[in-house]
Amino acid sequence: MELMDLLNLGAKVIQGNKDDATTGIDTATIAKALGDLMGNSGASAQGGEGGLDLGSIVGMLAGALSAGAASEGAGELADIVGSWIGSGANKPITPDQAGELVGSDRLNQFAQALGLNQESAKTALADALPQMVDQATNADSSLASTLLDQVGGVGGAIDMFGKLMGKA
């Protein structure tokens, strides 16, 4: 699955969620906000320029998980994100966990881009992130191979995941 397909998937999930605050926002606007959140500034929902900064996403996920390592829910959050990457069922994430995962600065930017309050922005991300990460990392995705290249191949991904889980 290509980047714009992922952004559009996330946009449709957000637009179709149960939050009335997001149902009236067009998918192109949501896709752009998701692209900006993921380090793809400059891209448009119609396929504009700008590349997805997967290193930034990996860093964002790793930073959020390691920053929360002292908290009670850190292992649970790592387990949730790991389920999106694995081949099994995606575990759900709460809106608060989604906010913790992306960080307050990125969350604020995402919320402002869509004219949402913090709670609606967190709910939108909790709905979209599992499906987007799952699709980005499935075996058929060209983004999966790019991600693996950026973390040093399968061995690097396993090592990084081990560190996230506190086992390395």
Distances (CA, A) of 38 to 47, 75, 162: 15, 23, 23
Question: What is the number of structural domains in the chain?
Answer: 1
Buried b (16+ CB within 10 A) or exposed e, 37-48: bbbbeebebeee
Q: Is the Cβ–Cβ distance between 52 and 39 less than 8 Å?
A: yes
> Span 70-75, mean pLDDT?
56
d(CA 27, CA 54): 22
Average pLDDT, the chain: 75
Q: Which of 57-71, 77-91, 95-109, 139-153 has the highest mean pLDDT?
A: 95-109
Q: How many residues does the chain have?
A: 168
Query: pLDDT band at 147, cuts 50/70/90?
Result: low
Q: What is the pLDDT of residue 140?
A: 61
Rounded to whole angstroms, the Cα distance separating 122 from 107 reads: 7
Return the HEC string of 16-46: CCCCHHHHCCCHHHHHHHHHHHCCCCCCCCC
pLDDT tens string 11-20? 999 999 999 9
d(CA 72, CA 74): 6
First to last CA, the chain: 31
Question: In the predicted model, what is the mean pLDDT of residues 51-80?
Answer: 57
Q: pLDDT digits over 74-124, tens only? A: 567 777 877 887 678 899 999 999 998 888 998 999 999 999 999 999 999
Cα gap 15→21, rounded to integer Å: 9
Compute how many other C-beta atoms are within 10 angstroms of the C-beta atom of residue 155.
10
Cα distance between residue 81 and residue 111, in whole Å:
22
Q: Is residue 48 within a helix (H) or strand (E), and if so which, with residue range?
A: none
Give the tokens for residue 21: 């605050």
The boundaries of the domain holding residue 25 are 3-164
